[in-house]
Amino acid sequence: NAGVMQNPRHLVRRRGQEARLRCSPMKGHSHVYWYRQLPEEGLKFMVYLQKENIIDESGMPKERFSAEFPKEGPSILRIQQVVRGDSAAYFCASSAVKDSPLHFGNGTRLTVT
Amino acid sequence: SQQGEEDPQALSIQEGENATMNCSYKTSINNLQWYRQNSGRGLVHLILIRSNEREKHSGRLRVTLDTSKKSSSLLITASRAADTASYFCATEGSQGNLIFGKGTKLSVKP
């Protein structure tokens, strides 16, 4: 039973390019959460999605960032026109129902040069 | 906004000793969770304690919850080098998402 799969594991982008981060939740999980982590820091909540719907995007910057979780396929976190400050580890987590423990992927480490 | 705050920020102990980490939070909760993160990896769920529970055990882990003080503690007994990791507490946000503290970095020396 595969866990939460994130790809790519490492992503390098030049300033101004787009970054697309993918997350396949655990089988049977319809709730997906994206978090961002800077070195030596905790996880900062970005967005919570449930199949085809954004439930809470209060932690996501209004500009350049977007997220989706389509009916078929993985959840995508998209960052347009990346800047150096976007460099971080981005973690995806999933759960079967609301308020249950989260299962995390191993993250995508984005480096903006 | 930060809900949980762990204390201490860093803890260094010898193998075999006990490690205690504390978490304080601000608003009322339905449950509180503890997670562990090894370097370079995603978080792993350790234990969930509900607001009507005062103590919970799982192997060498013991979690307490004091809702009157809005605090929780995680005790790891007879620590091992493999317990070296960062430990985070988490509480639910208004829409069901989890909000994490900044974590306690535990180092267990062999």
Q: Which residues of B touch A48 (CB under 8 A)?
A: 95-97
- Cis peptide leading into residue A8 (ω within 30°): yes
Which has more confidence, A42 or B43? B43
Of all helices (H) and strands (E), which one includes residue B89? Answer: strand B85-92
Q: Do B100 and A91 touch (CB under 8 A)?
A: no
Q: Do B102 and A42 touch (CB under 8 A)?
A: yes
- The average pLDDT across A17-24 equals 98
Backbone φ and ψ of B5, nearest 5°: -130, 120
Ranges of beta strands (E only) in chain A are 5-7, 10-13, 19-24, 31-37, 43-50, 53-56, 65-68, 75-79, 88-95, 103-104, 108-112
Task: Work out the number of other CB atoms within 10 angstroms of the CB of residue A28.
Answer: 8
| pLDDT at residue A5 tops 60 | yes
Q: Which two tokens stand for residue B5?
A: 């705050």
| pLDDT at residue B16 tops 60 | yes
User: Residue B30 is nearest to which of A59, A99, A103, comparing CB atoms?
Assistant: A99
Alpha carbons B61 and B74: distance in angstroms, whole number: 7
Question: What is the percentage of chain A residues whose pLDDT exceeds 90?
Answer: 86
Which has more confidence, B1 or B32? B32
Radius of gyration for the alpha carbons in chain B, expressed in angstroms and rounded: 13
Instruction: Give the pLDDT score at B46.
Output: 97
Alpha carbons B58 and B47: distance in angstroms, whole number: 7
Q: Do A41 and B92 touch (CB under 8 A)?
A: no
pLDDT band at A1 (very low <50, low <70, confident <90, very high): low
Alpha carbons B78 and B95: distance in angstroms, whole number: 38
Q: What is the pLDDT of chain A when averaged over all its residues?
A: 94
Instruction: Give the pLDDT score at A31.
Output: 94
Instruction: Give the pLDDT score at A81.
Output: 98
Of A84-93, B18-27, B90-99, the one with minimum mean pLDDT is: B90-99
Instruction: Give the pLDDT score at B1.
Output: 44
Alpha carbons B24 and B30: distance in angstroms, whole number: 15
Q: Which residues contact A61 (CB under 8 A, 6 or more apart)?
A: none
Q: Which residues of B touch A94 (CB under 8 A)?
A: none
pLDDT digits (tens, 9 = 90+) for B48-86: 999 999 999 999 999 999 999 999 999 999 999 999 999
CB-based contact (8 Å) between B33 and chain A? Answer: yes
pLDDT digits (tens, 9 = 90+) for A74-106: 999 999 999 999 999 999 999 998 778 999 999
Q: Do B45 and A33 touch (CB under 8 A)?
A: no
pLDDT band at B95 (very low <50, low <70, confident <90, very high): confident
Task: Residue B109: name the closest of B7, B13, B40, B10 by CA.
Answer: B13
